[in-house]
Amino acid sequence: MPQSLFDKVWDAHVVEELPGGNALVFVDRLIAIEITTPQPAAEIAEKFADRLFDASRIVAINDHVSPAKDTETAVQAQALRSWAKRHGVVMYDVGANGICHVVTPERGYVEPGITLVCGDSHTCTHGAFGAFALGIGSTAQGGVMLAGAIIMQKPKVLRVNVSGRLGNGATAKDLALTVIATLGFKGATGCIIEYHGSAIEALSMEERMTLCNMAIEAGATTGMCEPDETTIEYLRGREAQPKGEEFERKAAAWRGLKADPDANYEGVVEIDAAKIRTVVTWGTNPGESVSIDGAVPADADAQSLEYMGLVAGTPIRSLALDQAFIGSCTNARISDLRAAADVLRGRRVMIPTVITPGSQAVKRQAEREGLHDVFQDAGALWTHSSCGPCLGLSMGVVAPGMRIISSTNRNFPGRMGAGGRVHLATPVVVAASAVLGRIATPDELPAVQAETAAANR
Amino acid sequence: MIVESRVLALPRANVDTDQVFPGKYLSLISREGFGEKLFEGMPGGRELLASKPGARIIVVGDNFGCGSSREHAVWALVDYGFKAIVAPSLARIFHENAYNNGLVPVIVRDPQAHAACLAAERLSIDVANETIRAEGCEIARFELDPLKKEFLLRGGFMEYLASKVDTVRAWTRRRVS
Ligand code: SF4
């Protein structure tokens, strides 16, 4: 029977069928983070003689708050650290870490055709590589630590074909938000989203990661892209990948990992990339978005409006902001920072603006390119890598009623701080909005004086 | 097992786990005292809880538990005292987490039956027989995953996986060759 990309990866990992339509599915890679690992680690230490299925399949990363900000986060980081050390698990810690969904790919721990899990819902990011990558709870993670496998029912597969090319300033983030709005905030529940089409093939790996990162926001189990030469070139030479012939052997296998042309899908959704425009969310879930040229919709949910302090019909560009944030596993890779720097070069921000690179490696690259000077000359705060205010934990949490424009992935009530109002957007829109103090695009900004731009280079 | 209690009705759709258990508490590594934080991230959430003391059954809207994978959300519901959650649908990871922590995930898709659950003052949920009764009358049926139902009723998720270690190891050896 012709198979989807997901079907192939699934079949290659089913250890055995279990009652009730469940399967025992082998896990190639576990990313262990400080938020969700200490609890199962303690349980296994207590009840299962501290056994671990295979330490070499695990990567440990202190990521959500790092370095620790208080005693609790320090205890949590130390719990992960001592567990990793005890078992000889490779670890990326303070100085070499960052957000796990940025660090893992850039170090080469994810690759086409593998299964990968992590106790974090944005694990779907790694589907960009053609991996089956899935967020799980702490208990399920304990099962992976102990037995190297998860128990699950086979999800359905939804095919999203994106034809044409992104244009008009639209980015992978706009595509991600458009897919969510098209399918609905829970429209892909119980399904994997397989992305296909010329527009996807044209995306860089960083853009594919941005796209897959937000698959969960449509309720999907995960997202997946077919591996191709872009994938292979991204992985070549990465730390955890073999060199020379061995890498070429793997790459040859990856080239063959494609969906069969006549594979069956639960549904097929067609999207024309050329029609995608810059979008911003107005509401309290990522499905509540609208074109930046539009207005808060007339049929907007009343509770969302009340929380966001908005009235239907208000033009999006007129919304005044209190803070701006560029960061997170969605949009804090080097290409995102370059795009934001292109907007901020020679300009000044009007509102408090925090820029947090996705990993320390991204930070170092940005600094090699002088982007940190561009940001700081513009009056923004340039930080070390962390999840930061993305989940209201540290480094820029907002106060009740504050309106923030953010390159992150969730605008839920209280997500970036109790009572805070979050508008999701691309790094470019966040940067332009920071300059004008209201939601804006770069074409609205006054031209930069040549000498100012030069002085800021 | 029968869960019987008054009902806390939370008819809103898409309640995410940040509202159930705010991110700022994720730095706690134990699982204790989480009930005190339950629904702190939801506008009016604590007041709602206080309005129905003694409720062990919560009836919620569509797609409850979406967003972050944090099992803390289920731990908080269980720590507060909830034994069952009734919904038209639950987000995938939350659903799984509920099974693994003894919180009975009761899916009632039929809109009328769900509305009846929301409106009921008390419900009685027969987990083994997969039925819901209100005032003595059966008002809905539901289905649990037969394998996960075992974990739900008797625990033992980790023990079950421990029993599979040899199978998985044998599989990995076959896979290499
Ligand atoms: S950056 Fe935000 S969404 Fe991504 S892992 Fe961190 S907290 Fe989660």
Tell me if A133 sits within 8 A of A127, measured CB to CB. yes
Contact B71/A26, CB-based, under 8 Å? Answer: no
| pTM exceeds cut of 0.80 | yes
**Residues A79, A36: contact at Cβ < 8 Å?**
no
* Cα(A436)–Cα(A456) distance, integer angstroms: 19
Question: Which residues in chain A touch residue B175, judged by CB atoms under 8 angstroms apart?
Answer: 26
pLDDT in tens, A104-125: 999 999 999 999 999 999 999 9
Q: Rounded to the nearest whole angstrom, what is the distance from the C-alpha of residue B59 to the centroid of ligand 1? A: 29
Query: Does any CB of chain A come closer than 8 Å to the CB of residue B2?
Result: no
CB B41 within 8 A of CB A418: yes
Instruction: Compute, in angstroms, the gap from residue A101 CA to the centroid of ligand 1.
Output: 8
Query: pLDDT confidence of B143, banded at 50, 70, 90?
Result: very high
In this prediction, residues A227-253 reach a mean pLDDT of 98
Taking CA atoms only, the protein residue closest to ligand 1 atom 4 is A329
| Residue pointed to by tokens 């790094």 | A427
ipTM reported for the complex, 2 dp = 0.94
Please name the residues between 103 and 142 in chain B that touch chain A, using a CB distance below 8 Å. Answer: none
Residue window 10-69, chain B: list those with CB within 8 Å of chain A.
12, 14, 16, 18-19, 22-24, 26-31, 41-43, 62-63, 66-69
The residue whose CB lies within 8 Å of the most ligand 1 atoms, and thus the one to mutate among A328, A331, A355, is: A328
A436's tokens: 């004008």
Question: Which SS3 state, helix, strand or coil, does residue A213 take?
Answer: helix
Ligand 1 atom with minimal separation from the B68 CA: 8
Please give the pLDDT value at position B25: 87
- Per the CB < 8 A criterion, the answer to whether A356 and A323 are in contact is no
List, in order of start, the domains of chain A with CATH numbers.
5-270 (3.30.499.10), 281-455 (3.30.499.10)
Beta pairing, strands B2-10 & B57-60:
parallel
Say if residues B58 and B82 touch (Cβ distance below 8 Å): yes
Find the Cα–Cα–Cα–Cα dihedral A416, A126, A152, A43, rounded to 10°: -60
| Helix locations, chain B, DSSP H | 17-20, 45-50, 72-80, 92-100, 111-119, 146-154, 157-162, 165-176
The CA A64 to ligand 1 mean position distance, Å, reads 7
Cα dihedral: A208, A425, A358, A167 (round 10): 40
Quick one: closest CA in A to B158, which residue? A143
Instruction: Report whether pLDDT(A406) > 70.
Output: yes
3-state class of B141 per DSSP? strand
Task: List residues near ligand 1 (CB under 6 A).
Answer: A 64, 99, 101, 120, 122, 328-329, 387, 390-391, 408-409
Q: Could you tell which of A390, A410, A415, A424 is best to mutate to test the pocket of ligand 1, judged by most ligand atoms within 8 Å of the CB?
A: A390
User: Ligand 1 atom closest to Cα of A330?
Assistant: 4
Average pLDDT, chain B: 94
Mean pLDDT of B136-153: 94
Rounded mean pLDDT of B19-40?
Answer: 87
Pairing of strands B2-10, B122-126: antiparallel
pLDDT mean over A216-229: 96
Copy the structure tokens of residue B158: 């980790």
- State which amino acid sits at residue A176: A
Strand, helix or coil for residue B148: helix
Number of neighbouring beta carbons within 10 Å of residue A292: 22
**What pLDDT digit, counting tens, does each position of B50-86 carry?**
999 999 999 999 999 999 999 999 999 999 999 999 9
Cβ–Cβ below 8 Å for A139 and B158: yes
**A134 vs A123: CA distance, rounded Å:** 5
Q: Please report the domains of chain B, with CATH numbers, ordered by start residue.
A: 2-176 (3.20.19.10)
Ligand 1 mean position, distance from CA A414 (Å): 14
Flag if B171 and A15 touch (Cβ within 8 Å).
yes
